[in-house]
Amino acid sequence: MKVLILDYGSQYTQLIARVVRELGYYSQVVQPDEDVDVSDIGALILSGGPASVYEPNAPRLPSWFEAYKGKVLGICYGMQLLAHEMGGKVEPGELAEYGRTEIVIVEDDPIFENVPRESTVWMSHSDVVKVLPKGFKVTAHSKNGMIVSASDRERFWLLQFHPEVRHTQFGRQMLQNFLSRICGLKPNWNLEDFITQKIEELRKELSGKKVIAALSGGVDSSVACVLVHRAIGTNLRCVFVDHGLLRKNEPEEVMDVFKNMLQLNVVKIDARERFLSKLKGVDDPEKKRKIIGEEFIRVFEQEAKSYGATHLVQGTIYSDVIESAKSGKKTAAIKSHHNVGGLPEKMDLKIVEPLRNLFKDEVRIVGEMLGIPRSVIHRQPFPGPGLAVRVIGPVDEEKLDILREADYILIETLRETGWYEKIWQAFAVLLPVRSVGVRGDRRAYDYVLAIRCVDSVEGMTADWSKIPHDVLDLISRRILNGVKGVGRVVYDISSKPPATIEWE
């Protein structure tokens, strides 16, 4: 039995799924227009969302909703939608509530077991449920008198606030109450069982077959490769592409870890020449990304052929799956992310995605259990197109060398000062701008280098990291003294949105 989460577009939908899993219950996120098997749902949670239920095109309950007879928790939009559909009244509120709100429980309810009468919750709404459907009772008010919680005590529990966010003091307790006391579920999700079952499944599917995997040395593809390796051993060939856009020492380090430490069958393809010649003179970021994606495909096609592979392993994780289900609906295209993601339609290989139901933090735990070194598991993310999107404008060897050296100094300094693991992602960007300086009484005219360090959770939003000035100072002096060609260092203080994390 699983906990099904209906995604009405909230920023926090994935967070609901994660908290539920942390509590020990298997959860899955689906869109309201997706088909599901209702017999397998142990509890249903409706997420929040940006729409207003009284608008004509607002998303509604799924077609299978009537067939589902179990208990339902509606959060924010989910609460408003249930109230509206069952004959209650939802209206624009006079004042919106964003952020911290104090609530008072006014009626005993199993969802509030072990929750004090007064506590702090996190809100993000402007609509309000003015009238509840018949049979419902208000169970908590906000201090300014709004209905923040209600239930019919049989099937439906409604919360106007977000129990899934950490700022809601007793949010986890409430979700735990819903799942165990109200729905009567027993914890059924742990990652050790996941590993054993997955290896068994992979063995059934792949034994006797030749399989290749795109290995970047990043967290996701590494864990996927090690898992498949456990299942089929040397019939797996991991393909690591050196496209000439990797960081200093990266090719050697990746080969050392996977070949020598983890004893995987891994080949490094030296594709520097073909990538760099295709990129020569190309200025437009999207064109650069497309060229790189295309070349990746060509390289993998060749490798699959020469190895006689029928299957390709990818490190797709659950947030990729949720995002791609959403995209194509009304999400604007900001940039083409290269995962080797375009592969499935264009190649004649079956795709194997052992991690497609796991979140990144779960992937990390699985990686640790599989004995992958900490240096890999806690590596900061690095984009498939590599340094090509960090040399702004046309890419050439000279610029790549400058950037490689500066990036190396940045990362080493962050490690030395204990900042590397505190920052979600840190890197240098070489700008196509020169600036005047003075070195030993001589005029200098060198490139400007930007440092980008961000705090984030999944990379969807980000803020620039508040690194102490003395650390920034050390980074700047070391780069200015140690990297020929860089004459000025600047720190990027843009959040995402409106900026993105990478500059291209």
Ligand X SMILES: O=c1[nH]c(=O)c2[nH+]cn([C@@H]3O[C@H](COP(=O)(O)O)[C@@H](O)[C@H]3O)c2[nH]1
Ligand Y SMILES: Nc1ncnc2c1ncn2[C@@H]1O[C@H](COP(=O)(O)OP(=O)(O)OP(=O)(O)O)[C@@H](O)[C@H]1O
Ligand Z SMILES: NC(=O)CC[C@H](N)C(=O)O
Active site residues: 76, 162, 164
Chain positions 415 to 454 lying near ligand X, rule: CB under 6 A, are 425
Q: Point out which span in 42-50, 278-286, 386-394, 464-472 binds ligand Z (CB under 6 A).
A: 42-50
Least distance to ligand X, CB of residue 424, Å: 8
Asked if 152 and 135 count as a contact pair (C-beta separation under 8 A), the reply is yes
Nearer to ligand Z, 178 or 296 (CB): 178
CA distance 124 to 161: 7
CA distance 316 to 44: 25
Tokens 């990144």 label which residue?
A: 360
Least distance to ligand Y, CB of residue 355, Å: 9
Q: What are phi and psi of 131, to 5 degrees?
A: -125, 130
Return the one option of ligand X, ligand Y, ligand Z, none that residue 9 interacts with (CB less than 5 to 8 A, by type).
none
* Residue 496 binding ligand X, by CB under 6 A: yes
* Residue 240 binding ligand Y, by CB under 6 A: yes
Q: How many beta carbons lie within 10 A of that of residue 26, not counting itself?
A: 18
Which tokens hold the place of 321?
């799956």
323: exposed, middle or buried (Cβ count in 10 Å: 0-12, 13-18, 19+): middle
* Residue 319 binding ligand Y, by CB under 6 A: no
Cα–Cα–Cα angle for 317, 179, 66, rounded to 5 degrees? 85
Which tokens hold the place of 219?
């967290």
* Residue 340 binding ligand Y, by CB under 6 A: yes
Q: Point out which span in 48-56, 229-237, 377-385, 468-476 binds ligand Z (CB under 6 A).
A: 48-56
Q: Which residues pair with 314 in a beta bridge?
A: none
* Residue 382 binding ligand Y, by CB under 6 A: yes
SS3 annotation, 217-230 = CCHHHHHHHHHHHH
Return the one option of ligand Y, ligand Z, ligand X, none that residue 502 interacts with (CB less than 5 to 8 A, by type).
ligand X
Which residues carry a binding-site annotation? 216-222
* Residue 315 binding ligand Y, by CB under 6 A: yes
Q: Point out which span in 27-35, 131-139, 216-224, 342-350 binds ligand Y (CB under 6 A).
A: 216-224
Which residues contact residue 254 at a Cβ distance below 8 angstroms, ignoring those fewer than 6 apart? 215, 216, 217, 240, 268
CA distance 113 to 181: 9
Least distance to ligand Z, CB of residue 112, Å: 21
Nearest residue to ligand Z, by Cβ distance, number only: 48
Q: Point out which span in 296-304, 336-344, 404-412, 430-438 binds ligand X (CB under 6 A).
A: 336-344
Chain positions 4 to 23 lying near ligand Z, rule: CB under 6 A, are 10
Return the one option of Mg ion, ligand Y, ligand X, none that residue 219 interacts with (CB less than 5 to 8 A, by type).
ligand Y
Nearer to Mg ion, 142 or 216 (CB): 216
Q: Which is nearest to 300 in space by CA: 289, 286, 314, 317?
A: 314
Which tokens hold the place of 238?
């991991």
Kindly state the greatest CA–CA separation across the chain.
84
Chain positions 373 to 402 lying near Mg ion, rule: CB under 5 A, are 382
* Residue 214 binding ligand Y, by CB under 6 A: yes
Q: How many beta carbons lie within 10 A of that of residue 11, not counting itself?
A: 15
Asked if 335 and 285 count as a contact pair (C-beta separation under 8 A), the reply is yes
Return the one option of Mg ion, ligand X, ligand Y, none that residue 214 interacts with (CB less than 5 to 8 A, by type).
ligand Y
Q: Which is nearest to 133 in space by CA: 160, 158, 108?
A: 158
Chain positions 82 to 141 lying near ligand Z, rule: CB under 6 A, are 124-127
Least distance to ligand X, CB of residue 251, Å: 17
Nearer to ligand X, 70 or 381 (CB): 381
First to last CA, the chain: 43
Write the DSSP assignment of 56-116 as a string of letters. Answer: TT-----TTGGG--S-EEEETHHHHHHHHHTT-EEEEEEEEEEEEEEEEE-S--GGGTT--
Return the one option of ligand Y, ligand Z, Mg ion, none that residue 241 interacts with (CB less than 5 to 8 A, by type).
ligand Y
Which residues carry a binding-site annotation for ATP? 216-222
Among residues 384, 406, 414, 489, which is the contact residue for ligand X, using CB under 6 A?
384
Chain positions 354 to 383 lying near ligand X, rule: CB under 6 A, are 381, 383
* Residue 77 binding ligand Z, by CB under 6 A: yes
The beta strand positions in 331-441, using DSSP E, are: 350-352, 425-439
Q: Which is nearest to 492 in space by CA: 446, 428, 433, 434?
A: 428
Return the one option of ligand Z, Mg ion, ligand Y, none that residue 475 interacts with (CB less than 5 to 8 A, by type).
none
Least distance to ligand Z, CB of residue 84, Å: 11
Residue type, 353: E
Nearer to Mg ion, 338 or 488 (CB): 338
Among residues 4, 19, 41, 49, which is the contact residue for ligand Z, using CB under 6 A?
49
Which tokens hold the place of 439?
């070195």
Q: Which is nearest to 406 in space by CA: 373, 451, 470, 455?
A: 451
* Residue 222 binding ligand X, by CB under 6 A: no
Which residues contact residue 417 at a Cβ distance below 8 angstroms, ignoring those fewer than 6 apart? 471, 474
Nearest residue to Mg ion, by Cβ distance, number only: 218
Residue ranges in contact with Mg ion by CB under 5 A? 216, 218, 382
Instruction: Give contact residues for ligand Y (rule: CB under 6 A).
Output: 214-216, 218-221, 239-241, 243, 314-315, 339-340, 381-384
Interacting residues toward ligand X by CB under 6 A: 335, 337-339, 381, 383-385, 425, 459, 496, 500-502
Interface residues with ligand Z (CB under 6 A)?
10, 48-52, 76-77, 124-127
